[in-house]
Amino acid sequence: MQIPKFLTDKNLIPNVTINPNLNYLGTETAFGFGAEVLAVETSKKFPQVYKFHVGDTGPTTPEPIINVAIQALKNKMTKYGHFQGYPQVRKNIAKYWSELRGVEIKPENILLEPAGKSAIELALQTLITQEDKIIVQDPGYPVYESLAEFYHHGQVLHWQAYKDQEKQTLEFRVEDLEKLLQENKQVKLLVINTPQNPTGMVIGREKLEAVAELVKKYQFFVIFDDIYDQIVFGGRKHFSFISIPGMLDWTVNLNGYSKNYAMTGWRLGFVVAPVWLIEIFGRLAINKWSNVNKMEQIVAGAIYGDVELDGFKYPSIKDEVQEIINKDFIEYEKKGGFVSEALNLLKPFIVCNEAEGAFYLFPSFTRVLNLKYVKEDLKIENDVQLRNWLLYERGIATLSGLDFGGRGAGHIRFSYAEDRNRHIIPGMKYLLKVVIELIEKSGEVAPLKIEEVEVRVGELEKKYFA
């Protein structure tokens, strides 16, 4: 029996045979590496660990949401809830989303779930047969591939982002996706995430409409993950795949409350899909988690409209919550622009993409990895080793590009969700000084000197936050 590496690494040996497919089960590095970050922080090796690694929200849950939850608990709403989501709750979500997406969504198209990840597993268990293929984005959120490999090892394909070697930029091109579809028969499922983790890129309407044409031609389903749908910048508007006529019939739309509403710890999400698929998902839900708890179902409904349940009334908090989170989105946009410009102060050694959405950036550190001092003295060969060195030797927490797929090689993911004044601004100043030191120790000329960092970053600070 081949024991999974994640067990042998901890000297854990099962005393019975276990599922061999566990060898293909990956993880979400942000959580595992987060434990390492905490250990370094606890060790007090550094005055402060600057955190750019975790995709948690900077803001906390808006007070009106918390108040609804408190009231529901005071009303003793602590028993089992509806397995699919109370009709009134699903009706509120359906009404809001129908208006938002410009397509008729019925309560029967919706299932409440404990966070968004559940929809990935439900889709893989329901739609994929032994011969079917699944396409995931590369780079992409690692749980898609992890679960796809666990359930359907050998059936996972990669829609690799095209890398412009000169500009050091990434782009998901529809022509590359179509080539995959032409070369591989029986593709049943494609995963699209926009705004995207890890890159922060937004896939626009024109490209999604081109994908929809491929759906019609090749007859496959799309897991459309737009959990960051309200967090878009630069005047962009999020465009949903289900807004394209006919695509609701071919989509498992994963969404929820974690990112937009700063409710990551609540583990509250929902999925929008064809009615026949929701019927199957509902049966699986009963077998897996029974139901989302009653209190959270009330909160889920009140965020979009009035809820009346068991003789208690909960007025809509939609408008007041939206006013609060809109301010959060403005702050995200400012921080994203600041981090992108700050990193680009060291072009061509660091080349950072524009902040388009979510709260991530995916700059190329290829030139940093090729520095003589980095390769020969520090013996750093790739972005994973660079990530580790930044944490353990300099107290800067990031994630490596390879944590998100092979196409992420040479990149580092930065989350700018953390507090601006405690992590983002001072962390950028410190990081730039660290990289300048690596450049100078390699005998090369940095775009700016260490003593210039405070002034140049200070100018960006005024530009974005004054």
Closest by Cα among 437, 419, 395 to 47: 395
Confidence of residue 132 (pLDDT cuts 50, 70, 90): very high
Domain end point (choices 261, 283, 316) = 316
376 and 397 share one domain: yes
Token digits of residue 299? 């909160």
343 and 199, same domain (yes or no): no
Among candidate residues 316, 344, 363, the one where a domain is terminated:
316
Pair 168, 229 in one domain: yes
pLDDT (tens digit, 9 = 90+) per residue, 314-342? 999 999 999 999 999 999 999 999 999 99
Structure tokens, 45: 């090796």
Same domain, 212 and 251: yes
- Verify that 76 and 202 share a domain, yes or no: yes
Instruction: Say whether both 191 and 307 belong to one domain.
Output: yes
Angle between helices 63-74 and 294-302 (to 10 degrees): 140
Cα gap 37→411, rounded to integer Å: 19
| Segments forming the whole domain that contains residue 258 | 63-316
Both 436 and 460 in a single domain?
yes
CATH number at residue 372: 3.90.1150.10
CA–CA dist 128, 122 (Å, integer): 10
Both 26 and 43 in one domain: the answer is yes
- pLDDT tens-digit profile of 341-397? 999 999 999 999 999 999 999 999 999 999 999 999 999 999 999 999 999 999 999
pLDDT band of residue 1 (cuts 50, 70, 90) is low
Of 276, 293, 316, which residue sits at a domain end?
A: 316
At 107 the pLDDT is: 98
Burial (CB count within 10 angstroms: exposed 0-12, middle 13-18, buried 19+), residue 2: exposed
pLDDT in tens, 196-238: 999 999 999 999 999 999 999 999 999 999 999 999 999 999 9
The CATH code of the domain that includes 93 is 3.40.640.10
d(CA 274, CA 283): 15
Q: Do 23 and 109 sit in the same domain of this protein? A: no
Q: 443: how many CB neighbours lie within 10 A of its CB?
A: 9
**327 and 308 within one domain:** no
d(CA 413, CA 453): 21
In terms of domains, do 257 and 190 share one? yes
Residue 193 to residue 202: CA distance in whole angstroms: 9
Find the angle CA(235)-CA(240)-CA(241) to the nearest 5 degrees. Answer: 140
Q: Give the separation between CA 392 and CA 46, rounded to whole angstroms.
A: 9
Mean pLDDT score, 152-156: 95
Query: pLDDT-derived band of residue 171, with 50, 70 and 90 as boundaries?
Result: very high
Q: Indicate if 306 and 234 belong to the same structural domain.
A: yes
- Report how many domains make up the chain: 2
**For the whole model, what pTM was predicted?**
0.95
Beta strands in 100-186 (DSSP E): 110-113, 133-138, 156-160, 162-164, 169-171
141, β-bridge pairs:
none
Predicted pLDDT at 110 = 98
- State how beta strands 169-171 and 221-225 pair: unpaired
